[in-house]
Structure 1
Amino acid sequence: MSASTSVTASPLPVGEKVVSKPKKQPYPFWLGGVAATIAASITHPLDLTKVRLQASGDKRMIESIQKTVRTAGVRGLFDGISGTWMRQMSYSLCRFWAYDESKKIVGATGANPPAWKLALAGSMAGGIAGFVGNPGEIVMVRLQGDFAKAPEKRFNYKHCFDALFRMVREEGASSLARGLGPNVFRAVLMNASQLASYDFFKAELLKTAYFEDNIYCHFTASFAAGTVATTVCSPADVLKSRIMNASGPGSSSTLGVIRQSMKAEGPGFMFKGWVPAWSRLQPTTILIFLTFEQLKNVVDWSRARGIPL
């Protein structure tokens, strides 16, 4: 007789049903908007400096920061933060929601979706969010860039809602669509490069033996995504800032701004402010995704204890 015995799975008793694992509930649609708002609030001084470099004659990041502190104090580094909040709770909230929905449409919800499907879903989300968030984008750019202008050329908005109402009253409702083309184009590039590349890098890292689904993996994937996004989005970002900050007749023409900038500065203008843009977008991207992942953990923790979210 052989000493080894084989073990076979015993059949289920007659009449006993297999209990399937309940499908995990989707996360709240507003989670991405909250994560982006928290991140943007922390990195606001860098975003402010980036916009002023792109829209003014300032040449260097440190000099621009020193100029802001010298003229408006440390508090000046947070000029226009209400516009940042408006932008994040419109544009970013929409893009995270639309990205999840777009992934379902293109079939990119599996464990390892192909990069092109992620990029397609990101592009779709960017187009929607860029359109919806355009008014908030204009308000943010104008509030941030105001004190970099001469006093007689400032808008002098009190806060984001004052800016929105005055734009409609003084420039017409069509002013809310100023720079819509470059903004949507930038949003498509941003989401295809930031959201999609984060998912891609995260999936690739998890295939290795060095990473697990934890904060170290999230940090590394978001760092790579931030660098990719900065480089891809720089030209559209510069054009968007220059067009949205303009107020004269005919100054919103994309081709006109390109021709004027190329003539005055050469093709390098498209990457003007890359270092502060990277310095701002890199920590922002890291903070967004780290905060987003932690917020998802909070939701999971709450639901496990019967607290609906």
Structure 2
Amino acid sequence: MAARDLSVPDSVVPALAPPAKKPYPFWLGGVAATIAASITHPLDLTKVRLQASGDKRMIESIKKTIRTAGVRGMFDGISGTWMRQMSYSMCRFWAYDESKKLLGAGKDAPAWKLAAAGSMAGGIAGFVGNPGEIVMVRLQGDFAKPPEKRFNYKHCFDALFRMVREEGVSSLARGVGPNVFRAVLMNASQLASYDFFKAELLKTHMFEDNILCHFTASFAAGTVATTVCSPADVLKSRIMNASGPGSNSTIGVIRQSLKADGPMFMFKGWVPAWTRLQPTTILIFLTLEQLKNGVDFSRRHGVTWL
């Protein structure tokens, strides 16, 4: 074996490149989002009912739900929430990671690259997850309607099958435009801003890559996402909750909403939306980071399927 040239200083001997880290399972984001959404479901339910019904105030809407359906009523439509998270959220986290690779958005990527990756992921996930989104919104909003106008779905799969049977396959695309638009805004603001804030916090050397850093970055991301997404979120809920010919027209819903509520209808339900999205965003990223830690721990101990 040839000896190393001792005339070459050790400082210029190229170090062996560390082995590439194995990607995390694609489903981690969906699991993290499902856990978070299950905990905050009552707040999401209240937000949807404020947006799509005549309820005016958050506390009054909660009292109305408990009065008419009991405490269990705060978890109406939970199966729709699970369906939505395991379709839309699983897809968006996977697509975001793949989009970052495509755009070369590494650890210290500029904000515009992260936002572009988030927008790409949102467009894909918004389309893929649209049926689950409709099912979730309808299940959550049903008991806020008069009895004669309710869909009376038993669970998420019953809702999906009945929609296809009673309204045609095209019903699964109801509100897909506003939903994709909202998903683009959500992922560009929530996922991208979390990565951006986390990177900026770590640069200050006041934070380490731990739960405090994750909490602070996700808190900031939740506020940004709520404000950016509110107009599209309101439109999506109103269109998806509507029924009858012509009721899925985005322009028609905007005209009716402007006439009834004025331009501020775009931010109707902002407080419950923030109250719901803020803890949801925090829980999603804290859970996701811990799931990643769990995968790293398992791999170190020989669990190769994670």
- TM-score, normalised relative to structure 2: 0.95
- Give the match's secondary structure for 2:74: helix
2:159 is matched with 163
1:99 is matched with 96
Describe the superposition over 1:70-119 as per-residue Cα deviations: whole angstroms up to 9, x where unpaired: 1101000000000000000000000000000000111102x210000000
1:31-180 → structure 2 map (5 Å cutoff): 31-109=28-106, 111-180=107-176
Pair 1:256-2:252 in alignment: yes
Distance in 2 (alpha carbons) for counterparts of 1:175 and 1:20 = 52
Alpha carbons of structure 1 residues 18 and 83: separation in structure 2 relative to 1, 3 Å: same
Cα RMSD of the aligned pairs, angstroms, is 1.3
Distance in 1 (alpha carbons) for counterparts of 2:15 and 2:270 = 57
**How far is 1:176 from its partner?**
0.1
Residue from 219, 231, 234 that aligns with 1:238: 234
Pair 1:21-2:32 in alignment: no
**How far is 1:20 from its partner?**
3.7
- Give the match's secondary structure for 1:158: coil
Alpha carbons of structure 1 residues 167 and 9: separation in structure 2 relative to 1, 3 Å: same
Larger Rg: 1
Pair 1:221-2:217 in alignment: yes
1:271 is matched with 267
Alpha carbons of structure 1 residues 10 and 250: separation in structure 2 relative to 1, 3 Å: closer
Distance in 1 (alpha carbons) for counterparts of 2:59 and 2:11 = 72
Pair 1:291-2:290 in alignment: no
**How far is 1:240 from its partner?**
0.2
2:6 is matched with none
Describe the superposition over 1:204-226 as per-residue Cα deviations: whole angstroms up to 9, x where unpaired: 00000210100000000000000
| Structure 1 stretches of at least 4 aligned residues deviating more than 4 Å after TM superposition | none
- Give the match's secondary structure for 1:201: helix
Alpha carbons of structure 1 residues 10 and 95: separation in structure 2 relative to 1, 3 Å: closer
**How far is 1:248 from its partner?**
1.2
**How far is 1:18 from its partner?**
6.2
Distance in 2 (alpha carbons) for counterparts of 1:168 and 1:298 = 40
**How far is 1:21 from its partner?**
2.1
Distance in 1 (alpha carbons) for counterparts of 2:77 and 2:153 = 9
Alpha carbons of structure 1 residues 114 and 272: separation in structure 2 relative to 1, 3 Å: same
Distance in 1 (alpha carbons) for counterparts of 2:235 and 2:134 = 13
- Give the match's secondary structure for 1:23: coil
- Give the match's secondary structure for 1:264: helix
**How far is 1:142 from its partner?**
0.1
Pair 1:212-2:219 in alignment: no
Distance in 2 (alpha carbons) for counterparts of 1:114 and 1:172 = 44
Instruction: Tell me the matched-pair count.
Output: 297
- Give the match's secondary structure for 2:160: helix
Unaligned runs of 5+ in 1: 1-7
Alpha carbons of structure 1 residues 11 and 70: separation in structure 2 relative to 1, 3 Å: closer
Alpha carbons of structure 1 residues 244 and 11: separation in structure 2 relative to 1, 3 Å: closer
Distance in 2 (alpha carbons) for counterparts of 1:283 and 1:112 = 26
Residue from 167, 186, 190 that aligns with 1:194: 190
Alpha carbons of structure 1 residues 84 and 96: separation in structure 2 relative to 1, 3 Å: same
Distance in 2 (alpha carbons) for counterparts of 1:21 and 1:100 = 21
**How far is 1:11 from its partner?**
9.4
Distance in 2 (alpha carbons) for counterparts of 1:296 and 1:11 = 35
- Give the match's secondary structure for 1:270: helix
Distance in 2 (alpha carbons) for counterparts of 1:55 and 1:108 = 38
